Amino acid sequence: MPKVFTQIVVSLTVCGFVLSPALSWAATNQAKTDQAGPKQSAKARETRAASLSAKRAARQAAKQAARQSGPGTNVKNASSGPIVPAAEELKVLHLLNRITYGPTTADIERVEAMGVDKYIDEQLEPQSIQLPEAIVKYTNAPALKESPANLFLSYGRDAFGEMAKAARKKGPGGGTDVAVKKEIQQLLRDNYQELYGQTTDARLMRALYSPRQLEEVMTEFWFNHFNVSIDKGLDHLWVGSYEENAIRPYALGKFRDLLGATAHHAAMLFYLDNWQNTAPNRAPLRPGQKNKKFAGLNENYARELMELHTLGVDGGYKQADVIELARVLTGHGIVSKRSIAQQPAGMQSKFGYSFDPNRHDFGDKVLLGRTIKGRGVEELEEALDELSKHPSTARFISFKLAQYFTADEPSPVLVSKLASTFSRTDGDIKEVMRTLLKSPEFWDSRNVNAKFKSPYRYLLSSLRASHATVSNTKPLLGFLKLQGMPLYQCQTPDGYKNTEKAWLSSGGLLQRITFATALGANRNPAARISSVSTDEIMKVAGVKPTDKTGQVVASSPRSLQISLLFGSPEFMKY
Amino acid sequence: MNRRDFLKAGAMFSMSLMGIGLPGWAYGGTKSLEGKKLIVVFLRGAMDGLNVIVPYGDPRYYQNRPTIAIPPPGQKDGVLDLDSYFGMAPALEPLMPYWKDKSLAFVHACGSPEATRSHFDAQDYMESGRPGVKVVNSGWLNRILTQLPETNSPLRGINVGATLPRILQGPVDVASYTPQTAGKRSALDMPVVAEAFGKMYSGRNDALSRAFEEGLKANEMLTEKLSKEAVAADKGAPLAKSFKGFGQQLGKIFIDDPKVQVAFVALGGFDTHVNQGAGKGQLANQLTGLSNGLADLAAGLGDDFKNTVIVVMSEFGRTVKENGNGGTDHGHGNVMWVLGGNVGGGKIYGRLDELSEEKLYERRDVPVTTDFRTVISSIAQAHLNFGPSSLNNLFPDFGQNDKSLSGIIRS
């Protein structure tokens, strides 16, 4: 088996490649803005109207907050009271902390030069930013590029079909040759490791070094929102394909497209068992056939599709709706071995999706009070249209984004603003993000350095800040596992939380300090840091020499200073 | 007066009004509570209680589950008979000795009055102990600690795992310990490192600095305790590879530190929508690991077993009927397990009615006939001497008055 973890040397200097094209793009953009001058007053009126309606909505939102659907909703609202804008000198750091995986000094200088607004606009158009070759190569790995069917055939059990066949009746006493059986097990494990290595390398290297940082952050956000896990059966073959084809292309696109893509990818259909979801009382395909696997409804995906992916748990659906949506979803499954050869091109082959009319319930359904005419595959499109347009969905998604990007208990005013952009733009994620990043709530001084980093963000931000050269991602994955956030291994469909409550624990904090100490002393087996000064890390951590942390650092041995900064209370937050 | 003192004073006050004779440690000193422990094992994903404690005497059980029902006692992979009506899944066989010596009890058709079928809401409610209320800042196991005497130990409460679960969040600091690193050296074992970080985190009085101090204290203790365990592990005992390992480790920590009062561990893998199996299979494999771990824990506790109550619970049960894929979907009522040297065991508490459709909740699920808070309250009363005020703090909007479980802890 080829080894996955090839030695790679990429450092943050790759960002240098990007600097010039990005800057020239920014210049073009500036020209466009200038031309748009006369329209400004109309735009200002629009903005004011929007802010008025947002205020009205906010009042309602505050009332709703107690029973509102937000994950871990808490009415005790830290952000009540008037907004105090963050000080100018903190703005660049705050922005980089939130829309990237942590600033480097080079980033700070660059954004200071171009201005926060231009940087936001640039990050919202990831296609405009050129990707360095050193990163592109990770995206060509089979785990990301091959179709689910091909991955199944070349990496799954079937890849060893001949071997298994040959071993049958070859063992002592006429049974299966146990040694060969064990060898196959080992080869399979190697295959899974290989695919996992490709997928995690591609994720971590891009998160660390891609200049399209917001795209990386959004990809993680949406993967987590539409979570699947390698721990569920065949998904260990498909997680890479899922993220690359069903999540990443839509991370700043239309929510409806994202929802549709996840609903048609084999990884999701397998993870939430829908591939077996079958019309109840379906006549057997062959007389006398008993099929335990495909014998009736399975509510799993239907429920999570509404509870976690769209409406939110208090979004207004009932158990009856779960059953109706499960009926809509009957027959939507995974390409079978038999039908791989006749797979049409496009989404079906790329996503490993297949619709089996024989298992579909063709009766009419009533979802959320509306009748969906039974007619086959289009019913799902109609249901997804309805769900993605539903006001509960706008609100639920807006809450999650606001919580992720601003505060554990986000401002209800902001949530309403986002929800109204979501509804107005037909679920355009880019526009929702633009509203968010340009809102006064985002820039509220109380949000600066106020969120506790998830393990994933903590890891990445320390490596980015220290210009680390990552030679082996395995120890990094080990750290994430230790911290309770193993990559692609959140078993439950709700994904990982991103609040302080979820991640701050005594044991976890000590592990971070141990990690920081090793990284700062250049004793981390995965990553080497080079030529980074204490002052630089002070700057990215937002620590001033007069702060308590600054004083302790100054009075400590030089060899310990960077470790102390990475383990400081300030660096635990962002 | 801090919050904790306030609560205790409140407890004392209300009891003094009611006169002597009511249970309550606040009176009788803490002597009777010496060494009392409560361990909660939470099965995330909704364990299928009907295939754990099986009503094999009800023919409807078999009608509803043609492929996944566990056969009656005496048949291949059949249930282990408990009382000629209920049987225990064969995977629970390691716990049979405890049933026989009456230190294992079950409460059937038990659950939350809030009938959500969302895993996440249901777990949240069951851990906060306030079903239906979303704005709760503490978990009930932490609130139990607020009502117990302080032991000046950083290990009053132990969470097994990297992140602090809802049930243990609250005013009392709790040590999180990850079996993978417990007992291993950390950077903070180096004095120069510990001193610098100590200075940096001191005097801030925020959640981070508290976590730091708590972690440091717990780390010291665990390192000392578990290094002994690690030696033993080298001789062949697997350390923390499975729940079996956790069971041994936890038992060890409890024995070595009599000041530990509560512990919590969560296990996943119970959301069996597909191909769950019957006497053998997916669910049985999970249950076997769990039962072995519990038996190890019970044995590891030694004499302390009589001072310990172990509760096994899950957010809700699963559908009575099997679904189209040899599995079960989200349901309602479930079974809780109660294990301990002083448990009034060998008995099934609660009331599971016949599984006829008209008697089921929404014609599909086991109806809840016992509130899970009744189980916890009964244990808190009899095992931890909670009086009315402490109980009110534990489950504020409950008002426990169900006496049907009073025998679940022997007096």
Inter-chain residue contact A513 with B197, CB threshold 8 Å: yes
Which residues sit opposite B310 in a β-bridge? B39, B339
Right CATH number for B34-180+240-408 from 3.40.50, 3.10.450, 3.40.720, 3.30.70? 3.40.720
- Among A41-50, A152-161, A328-337, B6-15, which is the least confidently predicted range? B6-15
pLDDT in the model for residue A158: 85
In this complex, is the C-beta atom of A78 within 8 Å of any C-beta atom belonging to chain B?
A: no
What element of type H or E holds A104? none
Q: Residue A31: what pLDDT?
A: 36
Q: β-strand A365-367 against B175-177: which pairing, if any?
A: unpaired
How many residues in total does chain B contain?
411
**pLDDT tens digits for A44-86?**
545 545 554 554 455 444 444 434 434 333 434 455 688 999 9
The answer to whether the Cβ–Cβ distance between B325 and A292 falls below 8 Å is: yes
Angle, nearest 10°, between helix axes A14-35 and A116-123? Answer: 100
Residue B29: predicted pLDDT: 39
Q: Is B269 on the interface with A (CB under 8 A)?
A: yes
User: What is the DSSP annotation of B376-389?
Assistant: HHHHHHHHH---HH
Q: Does A298 touch chain B (CB under 8 A)?
A: yes
Surface-to-core class of residue A301, CB atoms within 10 Å of its CB (0-12 exposed, 13-18 middle, 19+ buried): buried
Is A358 an interface residue toward B (CB < 8 Å)? Answer: no
What's the pLDDT score for residue A292?
A: 64
**Does B186 reach chain A within 8 Å, measured CB to CB?**
yes
Return residues 149-188 of A near B (CB < 8 Å): none
Once rounded to an integer, what is the mean pLDDT over residues B281-300? Answer: 90
Chain A: nearest CA to B374, how far in angstroms? 25
What integer pLDDT is reported at residue B97 of this predicted model?
98
CB A228 within 8 A of CB A268: yes
Mean pLDDT score, B361-389: 95
pLDDT interval class at A525 (50, 70, 90): confident
Closest CB to A297: pick one of B135, B212, B324.
Answer: B324
Q: Which residues pair with B53 in a beta bridge?
A: B88
**What's the rounded Cα separation, in Å, for the pair A241 and A266?**
9
Distance from C-alpha of A389 to C-alpha of A383, rounded to nearest angstrom: 10
Q: Which residues pair with B318 in a beta bridge?
A: B330
Provide mean pLDDT across the span A111-134. Answer: 96
The pair of structure tokens assigned to A15 is 């960002």
Residue scoring higher pLDDT (A29 or B154): B154
Chain A residues with CB-CB distance to B186 below 8 A: 510-511, 513-514
Residues 94-153 of B with CB under 8 A from A: 116-121, 124, 134-135, 137
Nearest to A323 by CA among A302, A294, A296: A302
Chain-chain contact of B208 with A569 (C-beta, under 8 angstroms): yes
Give the chain B residue whose CA is nearest to the CA of A516: B187
Q: Over range B147-155, report the average pLDDT.
A: 79
Mean per-residue pLDDT, B112-118? 92
Among chain A residues, CA nearest to B46: A492
With CA atoms as reference, report the closest residue to B391 among B16, B24, B5: B24
A508 shares contact with chain B (CB less than 8 Å) = yes
Beta bridge partners of B81: B87
Question: How big is the CA angle at A294 (ends A292 and A296), to the nearest 5 degrees?
Answer: 100
Q: Give Cα separations from A432 to A246, A389, A410, A439, B95 (angstroms).
A: 20, 14, 15, 11, 55
Chain B residue with the nearest C-alpha to that of A486: B162
On whether the CB atoms of residues B308 and B261 are closer than 8 A, the answer is no
Residues forming a β-bridge with B409: B343
The pLDDT value recorded for residue A438 is 97
Tokens of A208: 């660390």
Given A66, A294, A484, which is nearest B162 (Cβ)?
A484
Identify the pLDDT of residue A137: 92
Share of chain B above pLDDT 90, in %: 56
Give the range with max mean pLDDT: A405-414, A468-477, B177-186: A405-414
Mean pLDDT (whole number) for B184-201 = 87
Q: Min CA distance, B261 vs chain A (Å)?
A: 18
Tokens 């000198």 locate to: A89
Contact A313 B173 (CB under 8 A): no
Q: How distant, in Å, are the alpha carbons of A147, A467, B114, B308 from that of B127?
A: 42, 42, 13, 20
Name the band, by pLDDT with cuts 50, 70 and 90, for residue B159. Answer: confident
User: What one-character-per-residue DSSP string does A195-241 give?
Assistant: HHHHHHHHHHHHHHH-S-HHHHHHHHHHHHHT---TTSTTHHHHHHH
Instruction: Quote the mean pLDDT of chain B.
Output: 84
Lowest model confidence (mean pLDDT) among A168-177, B21-30, B259-268, B379-388: B21-30
Closest CA of chain A from B323, distance in Å: 6
For testing contact with chain B, the best of A360, A509, A553, A559 (most B CBs within 10 A): A509
Looking at the predicted structure, is the pLDDT value of residue B283 above 90? yes
Rounded to an integer, what distance in angstroms lies between the CA atom of residue A65 and that of residue A44? Answer: 30
**Dist. CA B56–CA A62, nearest whole Å:** 51
Cross-chain Cβ contact A505/B163 below 8 Å: yes
Quick check: helix, strand or coil at residue A9? coil
- Per the structure block, which two tokens stand in for B266? 């969560």
SS3 annotation, B186-212: CHHHCHHHHHHHHHHHCCCCCHHHHHH
> Is B194 in the A-facing interface, judged by CB distances under 8 Å?
no
Interface test mutation site (partner A, options B44, B67, B127, B164, max chain A beta carbons within 10 A): B164
Return the number of other C-beta atoms located less than 10 Å from residue B231's C-beta: 10
Q: Per mean pLDDT, which range of A282-286, A332-336, A471-475, B181-185 is the poorest?
A: A282-286
Asked whether the predicted pLDDT for residue B271 surpasses 60, the reply is yes
Answer yes or no: is pLDDT of A291 > 80.
no
Please report the pLDDT score of residue A20 as a whole number.
28
Q: How far away is chain B from the Cα of A392, in angstroms, using its nearest Cα?
A: 17
* Residues 6 or more apart whose Cβ sits within 8 Å of residue B174: A506, B142, B145, B156, B157, B158, B159, B164, B168, B214
pLDDT tops 60 at residue A510: yes
CB-CB neighbors (< 8 A) of B218 in chain A = 506-507
- From B188, B196, B269, residue closest to A564, measured CB to CB: B196
Q: Hey, what's the torsion of the CAs at A235, A240, A245, A250, to 10 degrees?
A: 100
Q: Which residues of A175-196 are buried (b: 16+ CB within 10 A; e: fewer)?
A: eebeebbeebeeebeebebbbb
* Separation between Cα atoms, residue B109 and residue B55, nearest integer Å: 11
Cβ distance B135 to A513 less than 8 Å, yes or no, reads no
Q: At what angle do helices B372-384 and B140-147 cross, to 10 degrees?
A: 20
Across the interface, of A505, A560, A569, the residue whose CB is closest to B162 is A505
Q: What is the per-residue pLDDT for A133?
A: 92
Task: Determine the Cα–Cα distance for residues B268 and B289; give it in Å rounded to an integer.
Answer: 12
In chain B, count H helices and then E strands: 12, 12
Mean pLDDT lowest among A245-259, A282-296, B133-147, B384-398: A282-296
Identify the three-state secondary structure at position A333: strand
Q: Provide the phi-psi class of A184: left if phi over 0, else alpha when psi is between -120 and 50, else beta.
A: alpha
For residue B296, the distance in angstroms to the closest alpha carbon of chain A comes to 25
- pLDDT of A1 > 50? The answer is no
Contacts of A568 in chain B (CB under 8 A): 200
Q: How many angstroms separate the CA of residue A44 from the nearest CA in chain B?
A: 38
Yes or no, beta carbons of A295 and B44 under 8 Å apart: no
Residues within 8 A of B (CB atoms), A 422-481 only: 452
- The full 3-state SS of B296-361, as one line of letters, equals HHHHHHHHHHHHEEEEEEECCCECCCCCCCCCCCECCCEEEEEECCCECCCEEEECCCCCCHHHCE
Rounded mean pLDDT, B238-265? 67
Closest chain A CA to residue B45? A492
CB-count burial class (<10 Å; 0-12, 13-18, 19+) for B236: exposed
Q: Is B214 on the interface with A (CB under 8 A)?
A: yes
Q: Give the mean pLDDT of chain A.
A: 85
Interface A-B: count of C-beta contacts within 8 A: 177
Judged by CB atoms closer than 8 Å, whether chains meet at A510 and B212 is answered as yes
Which of A372-381, B286-295, B373-382 has the least mean pLDDT? B286-295
In percent, the amount of chain A with pLDDT more than 70 equals: 82
A505 part of contact set with chain B, CB < 8 Å: yes
CB B42 within 8 A of CB B265: yes
Q: What is the mean pLDDT of residues B146-162?
A: 82
Q: Name the residue in chain B with its Cα closest to that of A509.
A: B212
What's residue B181's pLDDT? 67
Which residues in chain A are closer than 8 Å to B274, comparing Cβ atoms?
273, 276, 298
Interface membership of B159 toward A (CB under 8 Å):
yes
The CA-based angle A403-A408-A409, given to 5 degrees, is 90
pLDDT of residue B31: 41
Would the pLDDT of B25 be above 50?
no
Residue A488 CA to residue A231 CA, distance in Å, equals 8
pLDDT digits (tens, 9 = 90+) for A358-410: 999 999 999 999 999 999 999 999 999 999 999 999 999 999 999 999 999 99
B224 near A CB under 8 A: no
Residue A289: per-residue pLDDT? 59
Residue B22 has pLDDT above 90, yes or no: no
| B104 vs B335: CA distance, rounded Å | 13
B17: confidence class by pLDDT, cuts 50, 70, 90: very low
The conformational region for residue B296 under phi > 0 = left, psi -120 to 50 = alpha, else beta, is alpha
Whether the CB of B211 is below 8 Å from some CB of chain A: the reply is yes
What confidence category does residue B8 fall into, taking pLDDT thresholds of 50, 70 and 90? very low
Q: Quick check: A23 and A122 in contact, CB under 8 A?
A: no
| Per-domain boundaries in chain A | 1-31+124-253, 452-574
First and final CA of chain A: distance in angstroms? 41
- Report chain A residues whose CB lies below 8 A from the CB of B214: 506
The dihedral of CA A43, A49, A51, A57: what is its sign? Answer: negative
Would the CB atoms of A296 and B325 count as touching at under 8 Å? Answer: yes
- Taking an 8 Å cut-off on Cβ atoms, the answer to whether B274 and A276 are in contact is yes
User: What are the boundaries of each domain within chain B?
Assistant: 34-180+240-408, 183-239
Of A67, A500, A511, the CB nearest to B134: A67
- Which of B138, B172, B180, B197 should be substituted to probe chain A, the one whose Cβ sees the most A Cβ atoms within 10 Å? B197
Return residues 311-340 of A near B (CB < 8 Å): 313, 319, 322
* Any A CB within 8 A of B178 CB: yes
On whether the CB atoms of residues A79 and A407 are closer than 8 A, the answer is yes
Q: Are strands B262-267 and B37-43 parallel, antiparallel or unpaired?
A: parallel
Which tens digit of pLDDT belongs to each residue from A128-151?
A: 999 999 999 999 999 999 999 999
Pick from A294, A505, A516: which is nearest to B164 by CB? A505
